Amino acid sequence: MARKKITIIGAGNVGAEVARQVLAQNLGNVVLVDIAEGLAQGKALDMNQSGPILGYQGRVVGTQNYEETIDSDIIVVTSGSPRKPGMSRDDLFKTNFAIIQAVVGHAASASPQAIIIVVTNPLDVMTYTALKTANCPKERVFGMAGILDSARYRYFLSEALQVSQHVIEAMVLGGHGDEMVPCVSLTRVAGAPITELMSLEQLEKIAQRTRTGGGEIVKLLKTGSAYYAPAAAAVRMVAAVLNDEKALLPCATLLQGEYGFADIVLGVPVIIGCQGVERVVEIQLEAQDKEALTKSAGVTQPLCRQVDEWLN
Protein backbone atom coordinates (compact mmCIF):
# COMPACT_ATOMS: atom_id res chain seq x y z
CA MET A 1 0.00 0.00 0.00
CA ALA A 2 1.31 3.43 -0.94
CA ARG A 3 2.50 5.61 1.90
CA LYS A 4 0.38 8.60 2.83
CA LYS A 5 1.69 11.97 1.70
CA ILE A 6 1.87 14.74 4.29
CA THR A 7 2.82 18.22 3.10
CA ILE A 8 4.15 20.63 5.70
CA ILE A 9 4.25 24.28 4.67
CA GLY A 10 6.93 26.15 6.58
CA ALA A 11 10.32 24.62 7.43
CA GLY A 12 10.95 26.65 10.57
CA ASN A 13 11.15 25.12 14.02
CA VAL A 14 7.51 24.00 14.18
CA GLY A 15 7.34 22.70 10.62
CA ALA A 16 10.61 20.81 10.87
CA GLU A 17 9.59 19.26 14.18
CA VAL A 18 6.24 18.21 12.71
CA ALA A 19 8.15 16.53 9.88
CA ARG A 20 10.49 14.77 12.30
CA GLN A 21 7.63 13.48 14.47
CA VAL A 22 5.66 12.31 11.42
CA LEU A 23 8.69 10.27 10.39
CA ALA A 24 9.29 8.98 13.91
CA GLN A 25 5.70 7.69 14.07
CA ASN A 26 5.94 6.21 10.56
CA LEU A 27 2.83 8.09 9.45
CA GLY A 28 3.95 8.55 5.84
CA ASN A 29 6.21 10.47 3.50
CA VAL A 30 6.71 14.20 3.95
CA VAL A 31 7.00 17.14 1.58
CA LEU A 32 8.53 20.12 3.39
CA VAL A 33 7.91 23.46 1.67
CA ASP A 34 9.54 26.81 2.40
CA ILE A 35 10.22 29.93 0.34
CA ALA A 36 13.70 30.32 1.86
CA GLU A 37 16.24 28.93 -0.58
CA GLY A 38 17.78 25.69 0.66
CA LEU A 39 16.07 25.66 4.07
CA ALA A 40 13.56 22.89 3.41
CA GLN A 41 16.04 20.95 1.28
CA GLY A 42 18.74 21.09 3.95
CA LYS A 43 16.45 20.00 6.77
CA ALA A 44 15.00 17.23 4.61
CA LEU A 45 18.45 15.88 3.80
CA ASP A 46 19.45 15.97 7.46
CA MET A 47 16.30 14.09 8.52
CA ASN A 48 16.67 11.51 5.76
CA GLN A 49 20.23 10.82 6.87
CA SER A 50 18.99 10.11 10.40
CA GLY A 51 16.71 7.38 9.02
CA PRO A 52 19.28 4.57 9.01
CA ILE A 53 20.05 5.34 12.66
CA LEU A 54 16.51 5.82 13.98
CA GLY A 55 14.70 3.38 11.71
CA TYR A 56 12.47 5.80 9.80
CA GLN A 57 10.57 4.17 6.95
CA GLY A 58 9.36 7.40 5.35
CA ARG A 59 11.25 10.00 3.35
CA VAL A 60 11.27 13.80 3.27
CA VAL A 61 11.43 15.94 0.15
CA GLY A 62 12.40 19.59 0.62
CA THR A 63 11.21 22.12 -1.93
CA GLN A 64 10.40 25.78 -2.61
CA ASN A 65 7.42 25.08 -4.87
CA TYR A 66 4.17 23.14 -4.78
CA GLU A 67 4.69 20.65 -7.62
CA GLU A 68 5.99 18.03 -5.18
CA THR A 69 2.90 18.48 -3.01
CA ILE A 70 0.38 17.39 -5.65
CA ASP A 71 -2.18 14.88 -4.33
CA SER A 72 -1.21 15.24 -0.68
CA ASP A 73 -3.45 13.50 1.83
CA ILE A 74 -2.86 16.08 4.56
CA ILE A 75 -1.46 19.61 4.50
CA VAL A 76 -0.10 21.07 7.74
CA VAL A 77 0.30 24.84 7.60
CA THR A 78 2.95 26.24 9.94
CA SER A 79 4.26 29.13 7.83
CA GLY A 80 3.96 32.70 9.07
CA SER A 81 5.66 35.27 11.21
CA PRO A 82 6.38 34.00 14.75
CA ARG A 83 5.62 35.95 17.90
CA LYS A 84 8.29 38.12 19.45
CA PRO A 85 8.54 39.22 23.10
CA GLY A 86 5.71 41.61 23.96
CA MET A 87 3.70 40.63 20.88
CA SER A 88 0.24 39.09 21.21
CA ARG A 89 -1.09 36.44 18.83
CA ASP A 90 -3.51 39.01 17.43
CA ASP A 91 -0.64 41.36 16.54
CA LEU A 92 0.24 38.82 13.88
CA PHE A 93 -3.19 39.04 12.25
CA LYS A 94 -2.52 41.20 9.18
CA THR A 95 0.89 39.78 8.36
CA ASN A 96 -0.11 36.15 8.61
CA PHE A 97 -3.45 36.65 6.87
CA ALA A 98 -1.61 37.41 3.63
CA ILE A 99 0.76 34.48 4.11
CA ILE A 100 -2.01 31.96 4.82
CA GLN A 101 -4.08 33.18 1.89
CA ALA A 102 -1.13 32.68 -0.46
CA VAL A 103 0.17 29.30 0.74
CA VAL A 104 -3.24 27.69 1.21
CA GLY A 105 -4.27 28.90 -2.23
CA HIS A 106 -1.30 27.13 -3.81
CA ALA A 107 -1.53 23.99 -1.68
CA ALA A 108 -5.29 23.53 -2.03
CA SER A 109 -5.04 23.89 -5.82
CA ALA A 110 -2.37 21.18 -5.92
CA SER A 111 -4.29 18.86 -3.58
CA PRO A 112 -8.02 19.70 -3.73
CA GLN A 113 -9.03 16.64 -1.69
CA ALA A 114 -6.50 17.15 1.12
CA ILE A 115 -7.34 17.74 4.75
CA ILE A 116 -5.75 21.00 5.97
CA ILE A 117 -4.52 21.45 9.54
CA VAL A 118 -3.59 25.00 10.51
CA VAL A 119 -0.96 25.77 13.15
CA THR A 120 -0.18 29.41 12.30
CA ASN A 121 -1.21 32.12 14.80
CA PRO A 122 -3.54 33.81 15.50
CA LEU A 123 -4.84 30.29 15.18
CA ASP A 124 -8.61 30.65 15.05
CA VAL A 125 -8.79 33.43 12.49
CA MET A 126 -5.99 31.87 10.40
CA THR A 127 -8.01 28.65 10.30
CA TYR A 128 -11.02 30.68 9.17
CA THR A 129 -8.84 32.32 6.49
CA ALA A 130 -7.59 28.93 5.31
CA LEU A 131 -11.12 27.54 5.12
CA LYS A 132 -12.40 30.48 3.07
CA THR A 133 -9.34 30.39 0.80
CA ALA A 134 -9.48 26.63 0.18
CA ASN A 135 -13.23 26.84 -0.51
CA CYS A 136 -13.80 23.25 0.54
CA PRO A 137 -16.14 21.49 2.99
CA LYS A 138 -15.65 22.80 6.52
CA GLU A 139 -14.78 19.41 7.95
CA ARG A 140 -11.58 19.34 5.90
CA VAL A 141 -10.01 22.49 7.41
CA PHE A 142 -9.41 22.79 11.15
CA GLY A 143 -6.85 24.20 13.54
CA MET A 144 -4.48 23.01 16.23
CA ALA A 145 -5.04 24.79 19.52
CA GLY A 146 -7.06 22.94 22.10
CA ILE A 147 -4.79 19.89 22.15
CA LEU A 148 -1.76 22.07 22.90
CA ASP A 149 -3.55 24.26 25.44
CA SER A 150 -5.05 21.23 27.18
CA ALA A 151 -1.60 19.62 27.38
CA ARG A 152 -0.16 22.73 29.00
CA TYR A 153 -3.05 22.84 31.45
CA ARG A 154 -2.62 19.16 32.33
CA TYR A 155 1.12 19.59 32.81
CA PHE A 156 0.70 22.58 35.13
CA LEU A 157 -1.97 20.71 37.14
CA SER A 158 0.22 17.64 37.46
CA GLU A 159 3.10 19.81 38.64
CA ALA A 160 0.93 21.47 41.29
CA LEU A 161 -0.64 18.22 42.51
CA GLN A 162 2.51 16.12 42.16
CA VAL A 163 0.67 13.40 40.25
CA SER A 164 1.15 11.85 36.82
CA GLN A 165 -0.16 14.05 34.04
CA HIS A 166 -1.63 10.90 32.49
CA VAL A 167 -4.31 10.62 35.20
CA ILE A 168 -5.53 14.17 34.53
CA GLU A 169 -8.45 14.67 32.18
CA ALA A 170 -8.86 18.28 31.08
CA MET A 171 -10.04 20.27 28.12
CA VAL A 172 -9.29 23.84 27.10
CA LEU A 173 -11.85 25.33 24.73
CA GLY A 174 -12.39 28.68 23.01
CA GLY A 175 -9.90 30.80 21.12
CA HIS A 176 -6.18 30.14 21.20
CA GLY A 177 -5.34 33.35 23.04
CA ASP A 178 -5.76 35.22 26.28
CA GLU A 179 -9.48 34.35 26.38
CA MET A 180 -9.05 30.57 26.11
CA VAL A 181 -11.20 28.56 28.51
CA PRO A 182 -9.65 25.88 30.75
CA CYS A 183 -12.95 24.23 31.69
CA VAL A 184 -13.09 23.57 35.42
CA SER A 185 -16.21 21.45 35.02
CA LEU A 186 -14.40 19.09 32.62
CA THR A 187 -11.24 18.70 34.72
CA ARG A 188 -10.77 15.48 36.69
CA VAL A 189 -7.90 13.64 38.33
CA ALA A 190 -8.31 9.86 38.16
CA GLY A 191 -12.05 10.50 38.01
CA ALA A 192 -12.18 12.95 40.92
CA PRO A 193 -13.40 16.52 40.23
CA ILE A 194 -10.47 18.93 40.33
CA THR A 195 -12.35 21.16 42.79
CA GLU A 196 -12.01 18.40 45.42
CA LEU A 197 -8.22 18.53 45.14
CA MET A 198 -7.40 22.23 44.95
CA SER A 199 -9.01 25.57 45.65
CA LEU A 200 -10.62 27.75 43.00
CA GLU A 201 -7.89 30.32 43.66
CA GLN A 202 -5.18 27.77 42.85
CA LEU A 203 -7.10 26.66 39.78
CA GLU A 204 -7.36 30.21 38.47
CA LYS A 205 -3.61 30.73 38.84
CA ILE A 206 -2.98 27.60 36.80
CA ALA A 207 -5.61 28.60 34.26
CA GLN A 208 -3.95 31.98 33.85
CA ARG A 209 -0.53 30.37 33.39
CA THR A 210 -2.10 28.17 30.71
CA ARG A 211 -3.50 31.21 28.91
CA THR A 212 -0.07 32.81 28.81
CA GLY A 213 1.84 29.53 28.38
CA GLY A 214 3.08 30.35 24.90
CA GLY A 215 4.16 33.83 25.95
CA GLU A 216 6.09 32.40 28.89
CA ILE A 217 8.17 30.33 26.48
CA VAL A 218 8.67 33.29 24.13
CA LYS A 219 10.08 35.34 27.03
CA LEU A 220 12.45 32.57 28.04
CA LEU A 221 13.72 31.85 24.53
CA LYS A 222 13.97 35.55 23.59
CA THR A 223 14.50 34.74 19.90
CA GLY A 224 11.74 32.24 19.18
CA SER A 225 8.58 30.54 20.34
CA ALA A 226 7.41 27.07 21.38
CA TYR A 227 7.74 24.28 18.86
CA TYR A 228 8.08 20.84 20.49
CA ALA A 229 4.60 20.79 22.05
CA PRO A 230 2.83 22.61 19.16
CA ALA A 231 4.34 20.11 16.73
CA ALA A 232 3.30 17.19 18.92
CA ALA A 233 -0.26 18.52 18.99
CA ALA A 234 -0.35 18.90 15.20
CA VAL A 235 1.01 15.38 14.68
CA ARG A 236 -1.61 14.04 17.10
CA MET A 237 -4.21 15.44 14.71
CA VAL A 238 -2.45 14.00 11.65
CA ALA A 239 -2.41 10.56 13.27
CA ALA A 240 -6.09 10.78 14.20
CA VAL A 241 -6.96 11.46 10.55
CA LEU A 242 -4.66 8.90 8.94
CA ASN A 243 -5.61 6.15 11.41
CA ASP A 244 -9.31 7.05 11.25
CA GLU A 245 -9.31 7.09 15.06
CA LYS A 246 -12.66 8.81 15.68
CA ALA A 247 -10.72 10.56 18.46
CA LEU A 248 -12.43 13.11 20.71
CA LEU A 249 -10.10 16.12 20.68
CA PRO A 250 -10.47 19.87 21.20
CA CYS A 251 -9.78 21.56 17.85
CA ALA A 252 -10.55 24.87 16.16
CA THR A 253 -13.41 24.32 13.72
CA LEU A 254 -16.09 26.33 11.95
CA LEU A 255 -19.27 26.49 14.04
CA GLN A 256 -22.68 26.73 12.41
CA GLY A 257 -24.95 27.00 15.42
CA GLU A 258 -23.16 24.63 17.79
CA TYR A 259 -22.68 26.05 21.29
CA GLY A 260 -24.81 28.99 20.13
CA PHE A 261 -22.20 30.42 17.71
CA ALA A 262 -22.24 30.68 13.92
CA ASP A 263 -19.76 31.58 11.16
CA ILE A 264 -16.73 31.68 13.43
CA VAL A 265 -13.89 29.27 14.12
CA LEU A 266 -13.57 28.33 17.77
CA GLY A 267 -11.96 25.55 19.78
CA VAL A 268 -14.53 22.93 20.78
CA PRO A 269 -14.57 19.12 21.25
CA VAL A 270 -14.76 17.30 17.92
CA ILE A 271 -14.49 13.77 16.55
CA ILE A 272 -11.48 13.46 14.24
CA GLY A 273 -11.32 10.67 11.68
CA CYS A 274 -10.43 10.05 8.05
CA GLN A 275 -12.89 12.73 6.88
CA GLY A 276 -11.42 15.37 9.19
CA VAL A 277 -13.85 16.91 11.67
CA GLU A 278 -16.57 14.31 11.50
CA ARG A 279 -18.72 15.76 14.25
CA VAL A 280 -18.80 18.62 16.74
CA VAL A 281 -19.54 17.25 20.21
CA GLU A 282 -21.74 19.57 22.26
CA ILE A 283 -20.91 19.06 25.93
CA GLN A 284 -23.15 20.58 28.57
CA LEU A 285 -20.94 23.23 30.16
CA GLU A 286 -21.45 24.78 33.56
CA ALA A 287 -22.49 28.43 33.62
CA GLN A 288 -19.03 29.86 34.32
CA ASP A 289 -17.42 27.90 31.49
CA LYS A 290 -20.22 28.78 29.07
CA GLU A 291 -19.87 32.46 29.97
CA ALA A 292 -16.11 32.30 29.41
CA LEU A 293 -16.62 30.57 26.05
CA THR A 294 -19.01 33.31 24.97
CA LYS A 295 -16.42 35.93 25.93
CA SER A 296 -13.76 34.08 23.94
CA ALA A 297 -16.04 33.90 20.89
CA GLY A 298 -16.59 37.64 21.19
CA VAL A 299 -12.87 38.19 20.60
CA THR A 300 -12.71 35.93 17.56
CA GLN A 301 -15.91 36.96 15.82
CA PRO A 302 -14.86 40.47 14.68
CA LEU A 303 -11.60 39.06 13.32
CA CYS A 304 -13.54 36.56 11.21
CA ARG A 305 -15.75 39.36 9.92
CA GLN A 306 -12.61 41.31 9.01
CA VAL A 307 -11.40 38.34 6.99
CA ASP A 308 -14.76 38.27 5.19
CA GLU A 309 -14.28 41.93 4.26
CA TRP A 310 -10.73 41.41 3.02
CA LEU A 311 -11.66 38.38 0.92
CA ASN A 312 -14.70 40.06 -0.61
> What are the catalytic residues?
176
DSSP alpha helices (H): ranges in the chain? 13-24, 39-54, 93-110, 123-134, 146-161, 200-211, 213-221, 228-242, 287-311
Sheet of strand 168-169: strand arrangement:
168-169, 188-189, 192-193
> Contact 122/98 with Cβ under 8 angstroms?
no
Rg (CA), the chain: 19
Which DSSP symbol is given to 82?
P
- How far, in Å, CA of 168 to CA of 154, rounded? 6
Measured CA to CA in angstroms, residue 68 lies from 75, 122, 250 at distances of: 12, 28, 31
Cα separations in angstroms, 9 against 196, 217, 249, 277:
44, 23, 23, 21
Q: How far apart, in whole angstroms, are the C-alpha atoms of residue 268 and residue 254? A: 10
Neighbours of 159 (CB within 10 A): 12
CA within 13 Å, CB half, 78: 31
Give the number of other CB atoms < 10 A from CB of residue 299. Answer: 20
